[in-house]
């Protein structure tokens, strides 16, 4: 049962990584990247690394996504001005 869960999470992570690379919009890529962090959290937790899972849940699925999104918004504003 747990093997099926691990396999499914791995497959989903590959699909999400492909979608993050191939998305038309950069903001969509950031959202898929955050979903990648969520899936990594599940895998870290299954593989008995709750410390790393906690870090990944906050940084990978939260703060880094917001930082990427804000950088995207700021650079787009600069481009519109010119």
Partner 1 sequence: MNLKKTIKLKTLLSALLVSFLTLTLLGVITHVTDVHLTLGDQLLDLNRDKTQSANAVTSVVTYFRGLDTLGEVTILFLSIFGIGIGINRSDQMHTILHYDNPLLKIGAKVLFPVIILFGAYIILHGHLSPGGGFQGGVVIASAFLLMFLAEGDAYDLDHRIMTLFESLSGAGFVLVGLLGAALGGLFLSNPLPLGTLGRLFSGGILPVIYLFVGLKVASEITLLIEYFIRTRDARDA
Interface residues with partner 1 (CB under 8 A) are 5, 8-9, 12, 15-16, 19, 23, 32, 35, 38-39, 41-42, 45-46, 48, 50-51, 53-55, 58-59, 62-63, 66-67, 69-71, 73-74, 77-78, 81
Alpha helices in 1-82 (DSSP H): 2-22, 26-46, 50-55, 64-81
Between 26 and 54, whose beta carbon lies closer to partner 1? 54
Conformational region of residue 48, where left means phi above 0, alpha means psi within -120 to 50, and beta covers everything else: left
> Whole-number minimum distance, CB 70 to partner 1, in Å?
5
């Amino acid at each position: 049962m747990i093997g099926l869960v691990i396999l499914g999470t791995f497959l989903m992570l590959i699909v999400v990584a492909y979608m993050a690379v191939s998305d038309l919009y950069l903001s969509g890529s950031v959202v898929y990247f955050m979903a990648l962090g969520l899936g990594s959290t599940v895998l870290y937790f299954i593989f008995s690394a709750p410390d790393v899972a906690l870090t990944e849940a906050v940084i990978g699925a939260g703060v880094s996504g917001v930082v990427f999104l804000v950088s995207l918004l700021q650079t787009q504003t600069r481009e519109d001005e010119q």
